[in-house]
Amino acid sequence: MKVLENENLKKYSFLNIGGTAKYVCEIESEQDIEEFLNFSNKEKIPSVILGSGSNTFFNDGFLKKAFGLIKIKGMFKSYDGPDFVNIEIGAGEDWDDLVDWTIGNNFSGLECLSLIPGTVGASPVQNIGAYGQEVKNVITHVRAYDTEYDEFVEIPNDQCIFEYRNSIFKKNPNRFIISSVSMQLKKVSDKLPIPQYKDLQLYFLEKKQKQASLLEIRKAVIHIRKEKLPEPKEIPNCGSFFKNPIIKADLAQKLLLEFPHMPQFKMGDEIKIFAGWLIEQAGLKNFEYKNLATYEKSALVVINKGESSASDVLEFEKIINENIERVFGLTLEREPNFIK
């Protein structure tokens, strides 16, 4: 296990915000996970697990912690049937590399999750989703080290407690260290109906297509995401900064009376409304505070335009929520993880 000392945490955050870490330890195997935990215990400092930093920003100053950077690789088929395939993927693999591989092999289930930044190990934590797909729909089980019982466990889908952008892993931070994720994907050879999501429907309507291949759907998602979201390497950002609120149907009806053009998406007995739209309607699109701003093409994205601090981000978040509460009576929940 490689140990780096006094590391600048900014390079581990897509938002480019953070102080200095006491240690960053590179974890390349399950054995390294146990070694990392022993190391942090020996040093008598807290341990924190990191992925690619796509959904993370850190506190300012010196963080006396040991950060475990998950770099476990590997991608293989555990079962290859006539209609579906089971695959196991190392937690340190790049998420979009996985999606690209599945498309190349005509495996369906991840195509709408194209170009989402981050690692495979982070995907079940957030239960990542986009354009009508969620990773919970394909995960069979997650292998992780359970720090409460000091052993590796395999957690089946129904015990992961998946919810909208939530899971047992997010609800119990630092308990589970994910080493691999297993999925079941469908084998397809023909074109598929266009996903029932407005942006994709409009994209293929313009092309006069009623069906599309996996690769065509992937290309469409990539095109739409690039139109809306800035490239983190060019403009630091963590993607969607706020979760889309899920509200009761009666509250949605009350809001529609006042805001009849409010977009919504039915989710069972509840309604998802869109945080980006709420921010725009509150007059905060292109809103700037210090070196932070809501992105001009998507108000849901917070960008770092210069030297910003964690305290700046928290102040920025507070200002936005004060306005959302004033206009809509709602409070937005932050999506990125803030590590103090």
User: Is the C-alpha dihedral spanning 159, 91, 51, 48 positive or negative?
Assistant: positive
Of the candidates 13, 52, 108, 240, the residue annotated as catalytic is: 240
Alpha carbon 95 to its chain centroid, in Å, reads 10
CB atoms within 10 A of CB 189: 6
Q: Alpha-carbon distance 318 to 329, whole Å? A: 14
240 counts as catalytic: yes
Q: Alpha-carbon distance 252 to 203, whole Å? A: 28
Of the candidates 35, 43, 315, 335, the residue annotated as catalytic is: 335
Residue type, 21: A
Contact 92, 71 (CB under 8 A): yes
Of the candidates 165, 218, 225, 334, the residue annotated as catalytic is: 165
Give residues with Cβ within 8 angstroms of 54, minimum separation 6.
14, 117, 118, 119, 122, 232, 238, 239
165 counts as catalytic: yes
Enumerate the active-site residues. Answer: 165, 240, 335
